[in-house]
Homo-oligomer: A and B are copies of this chain.
């Protein structure tokens, strides 16, 4: 979409990620082509940024640099990063959103630090105690959004209910669905199965005054089948599921590579089918799905993979633009307000 409508620039933590600042800036340059009119606030070491920007004149013209003195390392502990990193590109880029100078911030840096800083600076939306990380998964029907992917290791029934509302808004904004189907990840589809917090979340969803399209319980295999559009789970399970899927895909890629080099005939066949195989590779390419949103914050923070290349980082910027353009937080706030109307409150209290 054209980003000319965005009233504010996107803030980029230009120092975050393995290949920063080069890939961050090259990604921004690609995003500028994809979303004409978008502007950037670039946080990082000015001489380093200026040096890369020499080769990217269009981006230079669409950007403003804010010099920052320090960088949060990938292995810094979030608690320490928060205390000592107040002059970092990460902290200051988040701060710019809080200060109304940018509409969203994208970073490829340390996930834990980015979440901790975002919580401190932006605060959570009213009614949200735990933000969640939302990410996209490939499915037989296209894509689904899954949350939480690791912001919290434990979630109670009301957290899972809130994740459902946030995931619903995310799927409408990023996947363009009008009525996303929401499923709770469980170990069986029968009503009596699973952990107490999941059964509690199911009760809250069924009684919800918000017009959500709640499907019911789903199992792990339903994720890739595309049974639902929004997969709701706690951050521990979501993280394990995402990484197990990645590991499985890598295992199969290795099997295929070995198979296609196992004999001259197989090699020739592989060569003939290489176009088709590229299409498969493309569908599984997680660079396309880069850009995990921290949902539930009073501001938009998008996390890029630390190892993102320019194309991948550009996709994370696109996610941020979609979320701003679709007023994701206004949608979430509105649904949370409806949820907190008296009938649901009663239910929540009964479960407490």
**A residues adjacent to B (C-beta < 8 A):** 138-140, 150, 153-154, 185, 187, 194-195, 219-225, 233, 235-237, 239-252, 254-256, 259-260, 262-263, 265-266, 268-277, 279-280, 283-284
Contacts and interface: CB of A to CB of B under 8 A. Distances in A.
Given A255-B284, A260-B276, 12 more contacts: A139-B251, A187-B235, A195-B236, A220-B239, A220-B246, A223-B244, A225-B247, A240-B240, A259-B276, A265-B275, A266-B276, A269-B271
B266 A243 contact: no
A287 to B, nearest CB: 17
A241 B239 contact: no
Q: What is the total number of copies of this protein in its complex?
A: 2
A69 to B, nearest CB: 27
| Closest 6 pairs (CB-CB, A-B) | A220-B243, A269-B272, A269-B273, A224-B247, A221-B247, A259-B276
Nearest to A150: B187
- A140, A220, A251 pick with most chain B CB within 10 angstroms: A251
Contact of A259 (B223, B247, B265, B277): B277
Given A153-B187, A245-B244, A284-B255, A272 B265 contact: yes
Nearest to A154: B195
25 contacts: A138-B251, A154-B195, A187-B236, A187-B240, A220-B243, A220-B247, A222-B243, A223-B247, A224-B250, A225-B250, A237-B237, A241-B244, A245-B247, A252-B284, A255-B283, A259-B279, A263-B276, A265-B273, A265-B275, A266-B273, A268-B272, A269-B269, A269-B270, A269-B271, A269-B276
B262 A266 contact: no
Contacts of A268: 269, 272
Contacts of A245: 220, 244-245, 247-248
A114 to B, nearest CB: 15
Nearest to A153: B195
Nearest to A278: B259
- A138, A269, A284 pick with most chain B CB within 10 angstroms: A269
Given A266-B275, A273-B273, A279-B259, A219 B240 contact: yes
A136 to B, nearest CB: 14
A245 B242 CA distance: 10
Contacts of A259: 273, 276-277, 279-280
B250 A249 contact: no
